[in-house]
Amino acid sequence: MLYQTLQDALFAAIAATGFAAISNPPRQAYIYCAILAACGHAFRFILMSASFAGINIIPATLIAALTIGFLAVLMASHARFPAETCLFPSLLPMIPGVYAYKAFGGLALCLFSESSGGFTTNFYLLAYNSLTCCAILLCMVVGGTLPIFILKKISFQATR
């Protein structure tokens, strides 16, 4: 499990660095983005692993996003740039692409099904994957921005 966690953290760090490069932050922000993404994504992986906690992906994403948010606010005051500079690229590797892909696949199968039983099954897949995708995105937004508002004094020091 340690190898899988480290692998998950490494790939999340690489993805976050790529997402950070798109938004053109200061050079020292890349390492912070990579660290935050690795910590958050690995934490979500550990929470979801059945041998440890077996938490569903939705609450695990909320907890991981809160972790990334709090760490971003604390690191921002040390790094001297806004927390959002590292927060958003660090959250992006947790976007639920598989659920979005399956939701659109379910939609296509709904449109082309010829029987009511097939339509019902495909509509269930569409609804389940769409709702899961939206819930994960909502948890990412709430979990990422809530620490900025909770630690308002610390989070706005970097921009002064």
pLDDT of the residue at 143: 94
**Assigned domain for 108 exists:** no
**Assigned domain for 43 exists:** yes
Contact (CB, 8 A) for 19 and 92: yes
pLDDT of the residue at 159: 54
Q: What is the pTM of this model?
A: 0.87
**Assigned domain for 112 exists:** no
Mean pLDDT of 146-160: 74
Among residues 30, 9, 13, 12, which one has the least CA distance to residue 21? 30
Structure tokens at 116: 């009511």
**Assigned domain for 60 exists:** yes
Tally of CA atoms within 13 A in the half-sphere of 96 that contains its CB: 25
Domain span holding position 51:
2-94+141-155
